Structure formats: structure tokens, C-alpha cells
Structure 1
Amino acid sequence: VQRATGIANNRNVLATARDPKGIQLGASQHVRGQINFLTEETGFYQLCLDNQQNHFGFMQVYLNFGVYYEGFNMEQKQPEESKELNSTLEAIEVSIRKLQIHIFHMWRFYNFARMRKGADSFLLESNYNYVNWWSMAQSCVIVLSGVLQLYFLKRLFSVQPPGRQRC
């Protein structure tokens, strides 16, 4: 789980995962958190995000789910004779499974890197907009104060015609 905020002082978000019975499986309170857990039952799993540390600002959350099976064999055991005959095919099948697991992990790491880049990009863009608006507002205040100072100084040193005198 990853999020990017705009005008905020903390980029952490609390993420918790619960199983179908409501038991908490894991938690992460980091900007780029990752929760890994083993499951043995089917059902609806719950992912909760909590933003108590930051109440204001823009938030974007990236979620990346991955499910992979280790040691899961749907095939029934074959007799020893057929294993000897198909040992080459089994070796190829085992290496392909290992390759699939490695590809899956590389895909996860690629997605994490893409999310980190996206979060940093959104943070930079929001800071850029924030700085531009405040710079424009401060420039307007400076120009307005200069005009007002000029007006009051001009009024202070203005000379009245001799026919009208002030008390």
C-alpha cells in the first residue's frame, strides 16, 4: 500500500489486513508498506486504510495484490514407472514453475518501483502548485504594499495652494 499527499507533514498510512473471521493478519504503517501473510481458507479478506496522522491534503492510494502458491500440487501422484519415463518433462515443468514464481516476484518489485515513482511525482507536483500559488499571492501583496506606500508618501508631501490653508 502506498499513498502520496499534497500539503501534509506526514506520508504514513496505517494498513491492516484481516481474514474472514476478523483476525488481524498483518499491519503496516509505512509510506511504502507491504503485508505478507499465508492463508489456508477461502473467503473475503479485508484491507483497512487509516489516515489519522494526516487529516488534510490530497491523497492517492496504490494497491497491488499478488497471490502465489508455493508447494501447491493439483496433480495426483503418479506411479514410479511413469515418473522415470517423464523425468525430462517433470524437470522442465519444475523449472517453468520456478521461473513463473521469479517472474511474479520481479513483476511485484516493478510495480512497487512504479508506485514509488508515482507517489514522488504527485508529491512534487502538489508542492510545485503550492509554491506557485503562494509566490503569486506574496508578489501581489508586495506590489500592493508598494502602491499604498507611494500613495501615502505622495499625500504626505503634497503642497496645498496658498489660498487654502489647513488649521
Structure 2
Amino acid sequence: VQRATGIATGRNILATASDPNGLQLGSSWDVRGQIDFLTEETGFYQLCLDNQQNHFGFMQVYLNFGVYYEGFDAENKQLEERKELNNTLEAIEVSIRKLQLHIFHMWRFYNFARMRKGADSFLLESNHRYVSWWSMAQSCVIVLSGVLQLYFLKRLFNVQTTSSRQKC
């Protein structure tokens, strides 16, 4: 779970995972957290996100789910027995499974890197908009104060010639 916000000092988010019975399986309180858990039960798992740290701006959350099976069925026993027989086909199959697992992990790390880059880009874009709007507002205030100063200064030195009598 990774979160990026607009104008904020803290980017932490609390993420908790619960099983179908409502028991909490794990939690993460980090900007870029990871929750790993083993499960044997099918059903609807729940992921809750809590944003108590930051109440400003809007929020963008990246989620990346990965499921992989290790030791899933009884076929593993047969695989070990075949491995003892030094079967070439089995050695190739085991190598391919290891390669698939490594590719899956590299894909996860790639997604984490992409999420980090996206979060940083989102934060920079949000800060750029914030600074641009405030700069424009301050520039308008400066120009308006200059116009008002010129108006009052001109009014201060303005000589009124309404009467024909001279004043001493």
C-alpha cells in the first residue's frame, strides 16, 4: 500500500488486512508498507485504510496484490520422489517454477518502484499547483496595493480649485 497526498507533512497511512471471520491478519503504518500473511480459508478478505494523520488535500492510494502458492497440494511429495530418480524433465519443471517465482517477485518490485515514482510525481505536481496559485494571488495583492497607493498619493496632492477666492 502506498499513499500520496497533496499538501501534507506526513504521508503515513494505516492499512490493516482481515480474514473472512474478521480477525486481523496484519497491519502496516508505513508510507510504503507490505502485509504478508498465509491463509488456508477461502472467502472475502478485507483491506482497511485509515487516514488519521492527514486531513488536507486529496489522496491517491496505490494497491498491489500478489498471490502465490507454495506447497499447495500433495503433488509436492510426488515431485520430491521424481527428483530422487534424477528425472531430467522434472529438473526442468522445477527450474521453470523457480524462474516463475523469481519473475513474480521482480514484477512486484517493479510495481513498487513504479508506485514510488508515481507518488513522488503526484506530490511534485500538487506542490507546483499550490505554489503557482499562491504566487498568482500574492502578485495580484502586490499590484492592487500599488494601484491603491498611487490613487491615495495622487489624491493627497490633488489641488481643488472650486472657488475664485484666494485663501491666505
Q: Which moved more, 1:35-44 or 1:65-74?
A: 65-74
The alignment partner of 2:60 has SS state of strand
Mind listing any 5+ residue stretches in structure 2 that lack a counterpart? none
Cross-structure match for 1:115: 115
Amino acid at match of 1:127: N
The alignment partner of 2:26 has SS state of strand
Cross-structure match for 1:146: 146
Cross-structure match for 1:163: 164
Q: Does structure 1 retain, via aligned residues, the 8 Å contact 2:82–2:90?
A: no
Mind listing any 5+ residue stretches in structure 1 that lack a counterpart? none
Q: Does structure 1 retain, via aligned residues, the 8 Å contact 2:83–2:90?
A: no
Q: Deviations over 1:18-60 (max 9, x none)?
A: 1111111111111111111111211111100011111221111
CA distance in structure 1 between the aligned counterparts of 2:22 and 2:166, rounded to whole angstroms? 88
CA distance in structure 2 between the aligned counterparts of 1:128 and 1:81, rounded to whole angstroms? 61
The alignment partner of 1:26 has SS state of strand
Cross-structure match for 2:78: 77
Deviation at 1:83, TM superposition (A): 6.5
Deviation at 1:72, TM superposition (A): 2.6
Shift in CA distance, 163/19, structure 1 to aligned 2, threshold 3 Å? same
TM-score, scaled relative to structure 2:
0.89
CA distance in structure 2 between the aligned counterparts of 1:93 and 1:73, rounded to whole angstroms? 16
CA distance in structure 1 between the aligned counterparts of 2:67 and 2:83, rounded to whole angstroms? 31
Amino acid at match of 2:164: G
The alignment partner of 1:77 has SS state of helix
Deviation at 1:165, TM superposition (A): 7.6
Cross-structure match for 1:102: 102
Deviation at 1:149, TM superposition (A): 0.5
CA distance in structure 2 between the aligned counterparts of 1:138 and 1:6, rounded to whole angstroms? 21
User: RMSD over aligned Cα, in angstroms?
Assistant: 2.3
**Percent of aligned pairs with the same amino acid:** 82
* Pairing 1:127–2:163 present: no
Shift in CA distance, 49/82, structure 1 to aligned 2, threshold 3 Å? closer
Shift in CA distance, 118/165, structure 1 to aligned 2, threshold 3 Å? farther
Cross-structure match for 1:43: 43
Q: Which moved more, 1:62-71 or 1:101-110?
A: 62-71
Number of aligned residue pairs = 165
TM-score, scaled relative to structure 1:
0.90
* Pairing 1:30–2:30 present: yes
Amino acid at match of 1:69: Y
Q: Deviations over 1:50-76 (max 9, x none)?
A: 111112211111110000112234537
Q: Does structure 1 retain, via aligned residues, the 8 Å contact 2:14–2:30?
A: yes
CA distance in structure 1 between the aligned counterparts of 2:82 and 2:8, rounded to whole angstroms? 66
1:15-26 equivalences in 2 (<5 Å)? 15-26=15-26
Q: Deviations over 1:116-143 (max 9, x none)?
A: 0001111100110110000000000000
